[in-house]
Structure 1
């Protein structure tokens, strides 16, 4: 069994005295050819050898005996060899290869735990096509990009999922992108992939695109939408899913500025997304987005936002090609932030979100502009019911979904 552990000579207490092999040991082995006898001899041999009792000639004898035992006809003996030497100085390259290419119960300790096992051997084993061995390798404490890339290409879901969730596996951007392209629709792989500490913006964008497809299918099925309306709302879903992913990926190694640049290059840094990030209280990403679209320094954009200087922010929105008739919701959100003294942190975020949504709906919800209706639809889409109710209390009116006709005063 892969989980079997055999006694390791190195773990003996310090007060144990090593005992060299004697002619009596050899005679006993000749008389008793049971697996237990050979395993007992193996343990004694390694204790003696690793405590430097053997002379140089004896070391060569150890290597020869280990090779013989590694090819023993009894699997139990070969397992004992593997478990006792997977990190031993007596594990030669040839011996490692013999054990790694054996059945999984013999190969497991080397493939899973062997620190000296090189990439060339791991790649050879992966090429055998054995899923059980690939699983053992995928769970190693560390993996190089070359080995991770080979595992990513094997096509076995369990192996790929284990790899995606292994933070010790070095995955190149190309491998990550390939996994996102092939498995974004498979939760078994997509979930651990999305949970990695660092992800390039291109992979985040692929995951966002997949979620958008799910949202589109859900809308078409549940609301019996026409293809035209479904296509229009698909963009809403992309922005909503993008915003939902912003916070989880804002970890060490995931640069919000880089993500803003990537989304802009992909044509995905939209006006609705900017408004949603602002109203969500994600000031850092909002400043990064406005900075990217307007080509001004992020620090300047953040200063204007935190100081509540609308004239300056209005100029940035103009440079960012935000239509002037959509400026109002941004102005309202900034005014709410200034009134509350909110500066984009976790403290006070819920209060700011509720107040901003309510004031925007009250002041902008009766606009004759269809573009404003669409913008507010996307702003409220996927908001929790309790938050919408609280926002409507702020607005002093019931929430009438903007998908329908909003009564005009």
Structure 2
């Protein structure tokens, strides 16, 4: 049997006095890097006794200030997931060059929010990106990253589902990068956004992202309606860029329905500005009937088909009355071919619908009246003969 004492042996890869002795004898950088990996694995396993833990800690402290970058990199990679590392060692590694600090900044639970905020303020993009990649980011850390980080860093933060983003932090991201679709897109894709932030995004993002905003977030009804119907109007007039082909109406309607955004009010408002294609498709999807059948029912001369279809689609009695009047008005109004004709057509339909009803129990709701009046005012103000006055 060997005469070695148990404390001088390596048992199952645990650090012992033998490892410390290897370091004391002037081990090569490769050997020191190997010791770093061995100690790190033992710390991560969390099975060290009190004496072994103290010895491992002493070894780690020495390796954390090793002159060779290779050794420090090996140590940082090995201890990135351990919770037994002393705080001072964690800070030393985090303040090291980026290649050493990165694994520690990405995963190390020993670092506090205060530590991370201080490190972020040093304006090192590589380190900021490492922090932004952590599984979770507190409100304070996320705010510091957005305040100090480059566009790449802010994109990483708003793309991180584990980041807690307060409304002021979101506003700051938009203030700093108002024209960056790289920032806008992951914001739109987040599970939840404050309404005020979503409203700001509406004016900043592309038409494609506006559609995503409507589908994913609870925008105010008037704003959501404008985005949906104005987008449809642009598509109808061929005003959408070739790089953003207009979405098929049925795809749009189904995506709205799947997101719970296809409301009775939006259907009624679409009818009131003359977008019957949207109305037919929406009623078909809500009533679960083929679109062709819905089109025939909508334009049934006796309007019984429209009433039955709207009822099956879940449109209430009050809204059905307005819907019927709007469709009748559309059928009675001639639509020209040009953009100005389409705009004038919408004006005419709104005017006729509004004059047919008072805002009583079976008429247009107060909210829808206000929406249609604002819509009408917008159409009139945009007319060349009015705009030039």
Same fold (TM over 0.5): yes
Number of residue equivalences: 294
The offset of 1:101, in angstroms, is 0.8
Quote the residue 1:105 is aligned against. 99
Quote the residue 2:333 is aligned against. 364
Match of 2:274 among 306, 329, 334: 329
1:138, 1:162 within 8 Å by CA — same for their partners in 2? yes
Deviations 1:336-391 (A, max 9, x none): 47xx96243897569979999x9987643459xx99834649x9xxxxxxxxxxxx
Match of 1:255 among 214, 218, 228: 218
After superposition, the Cα gap between the structure-2 partners of 1:32 and 1:366, relative to the gap in structure 1 and judged at 3 Å, is: closer
Match of 2:152 among 155, 158, 162: 158
1:79, 1:105 within 8 Å by CA — same for their partners in 2? yes
Match of 2:186 among 188, 192, 202: 192
Quote the residue 1:245 is aligned against. 210
**Separation in 2, partners of 1:361, 1:135:** 56
44-53 or 169-178: bigger deviation: 44-53
2:215, 2:261 within 8 Å by CA — same for their partners in 1? no
**Separation in 2, partners of 1:147, 1:88:** 21
Quote the residue 1:178 is aligned against. 172
Structure 2: unaligned runs, 5 residues or longer: 1-9, 234-248, 300-326, 350-381
Quote the residue 2:70 is aligned against. 76
1:197, 1:249 within 8 Å by CA — same for their partners in 2? no
**Separation in 1, partners of 2:151, 2:293:** 43
The offset of 1:131, in angstroms, is 0.8
Deviations 1:173-215 (A, max 9, x none): 221222234323112222222222322222222222124xx8x
Q: Secondary structure at the match of 1:65?
A: helix
Q: Secondary structure at the match of 2:284?
A: coil
Deviations 1:102-122 (A, max 9, x none): 111111111112234321111
**Separation in 2, partners of 1:65, 1:335:** 73
Q: Secondary structure at the match of 1:329?
A: coil
After superposition, the Cα gap between the structure-2 partners of 1:20 and 1:83, relative to the gap in structure 1 and judged at 3 Å, is: closer
Quote the residue 1:61 is aligned against. 55
**Separation in 2, partners of 1:19, 1:359:** 84
**Separation in 2, partners of 1:71, 1:210:** 48
Q: TM-score, normalised by structure 1?
A: 0.57
Quote the residue 2:132 is aligned against. 138
Structure 1: unaligned runs, 5 residues or longer: 1-15, 215-240, 291-304, 306-312, 380-401
**Separation in 1, partners of 2:47, 2:11:** 10
The offset of 1:148, in angstroms, is 0.8
**Separation in 1, partners of 2:331, 2:91:** 72
**Separation in 2, partners of 1:87, 1:271:** 48
Q: TM-score, normalised by structure 2?
A: 0.59
Match of 2:343 among 373, 386, 402: 373
